[in-house]
Structures are given as C-alpha cells and as structure tokens.
C-alpha cells in the first residue's frame, strides 16, 4: 500500500528496537570498559616511571649533599665540632630539643 508515492514500511516491533538498543548499550559499555582498562594501565606505568625517576634523583642528590639526611648532631660531628643535646620543658608544657656547640673545632678548653 502506497500513499503519496512513498513506499509503506511495516512498523518495527518495539522488542526488536529494544534488543537493538540493548546491544548498542552493551557494546558501548564494553568499549568504555576496554578504554578505561587501557587508561589504568597507562596511569600505572606512568606512576612507576615517575617513581623510578624520583628515586634515582633522590639517590643522586644524597651524594651531592651528604648533610641532607643528617640530624643536627650528625651535621656538627661531620664538620668536626662537638655537640651537646638538651631537652627543655617549657612553662606551658612543651618539650624542646636544644643543640649546643660548646666550643670550636680546635679549642676544647672552655
């Protein structure tokens, strides 16, 4: 049956359209899942590469500045000075650590 020169099309059953849309949605979800999986792999690799680069940098920096990871008494001893440590209790209840160099490198007399 034709009206106004247009071929007549049978209406598509709703269940067929629903199945088609469901298949498209499933395919889209699979595509997104694959893309997200690839993104996770990329992010993990990027983090590992960055971590490796940072650890190499800190290792080389440690050799450039040996004092970088020392405590205050270790630094004073490194440079040949004597060192004394004290813990002081303040009036408001806090403990402070004080470091003192009592004399120079070459003068052990007070």
The answer to whether the beta carbons of residues 77 and 67 sit under 8 Å apart is: no
- Band (pLDDT 50/70/90 cuts) for residue 88 is very high
Torsion of CA 87, 90, 96, 99, to 10 degrees: -60
Position 72 scores a pLDDT of 93
Q: Quick: pLDDT tens for 90-104.
A: 999 999 999 999 988
Name the token pair of 108.
């052990």
Confidence at 42, pLDDT banded by 50, 70, 90: confident
Residue 6: predicted pLDDT: 58
How large is the average pLDDT for residues 37-48? 80
DSSP code, position 95: E
Residue with tokens 């709703």: 14
- CA separation for the pair 95, 87 (Å, rounded): 6
């Amino acid at each position: 049956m034709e009206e106004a020169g247009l071929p007549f099309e049978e209406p598509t059953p709703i269940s067929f359209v629903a199945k088609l849309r469901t298949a498209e949605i499933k395919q889209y979800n699979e595509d997104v899942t694959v893309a997200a999986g690839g993104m996770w792999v990329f992010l993990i690799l990027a983090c590992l590469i960055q971590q490796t680069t940072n650890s190499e940098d800190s290792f080389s920096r440690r050799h450039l500045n040996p004092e970088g990871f020392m405590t205050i008494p270790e630094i004073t001893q490194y440079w040949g000075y004597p060192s004394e440590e004290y813990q002081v209790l303040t009036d408001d209840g806090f403990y402070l650590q004080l470091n003192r160099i009592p004399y120079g490198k070459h003068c052990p007399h007070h």
